[in-house]
Amino acid sequence: MRSEKEPIPTMSEPKIRGIAQIHVRARDLDRAVAFYREKLGLAFLFQVPGLAFLRCGDVNLYLGPAEPEFDHASSILYFDVADIGESHRALVERGVTFRGEPHVVHKAADHDLWMAFFEDSEGNFHALHCRKARG
């Protein structure tokens, strides 16, 4: 184990700039495209047999089947929203099922972090994520 006073070995920097694309397992591609496009309102890019791509901010969502070792629910995607109450109401109106109401998960000095968790059409859990300034 390295002590805190030992220098960190010099290594090349990978220069990762961000996330370009996230794969979300979809067992029924048409159903999944409808959910992300119509219910969440993500921008549809294109669809080819077995795969579909949508845009969320600077990130592409790639919907499609998974290899057997990856055929499980995806990691949780946290969708950033400006007004969690308004976004929650809009998604409920579109038929999105939430696990509960939006709620505070963390109180920082200058803001509260709110979340509301929901399930997509394929059994993957995701969340709305909102920072509300205090004051």
Question: CA-to-CA distance for 14 and 58, rounded, in angstroms?
Answer: 20
The reported pTM is 0.80
- Domains of the chain plus CATH, in order, are 21-133 (3.10.180.10)
- Range list of β-strands (E), 57-123: 59-64, 78-80, 97-98, 103-107, 111-119
Is the Cβ–Cβ distance between 42 and 55 less than 8 Å?
Answer: yes
- Mean pLDDT over 72-90 rounds to 93
pLDDT digits (tens, 9 = 90+) for 12-66: 777 778 889 999 999 999 999 999 999 999 999 999 999 999 999 999 999 999 8
The residue ranking higher by pLDDT, 67 or 97, is: 97
* Helix residue ranges, H only, 37-104: 84-93
What pLDDT was estimated at residue 1?
58
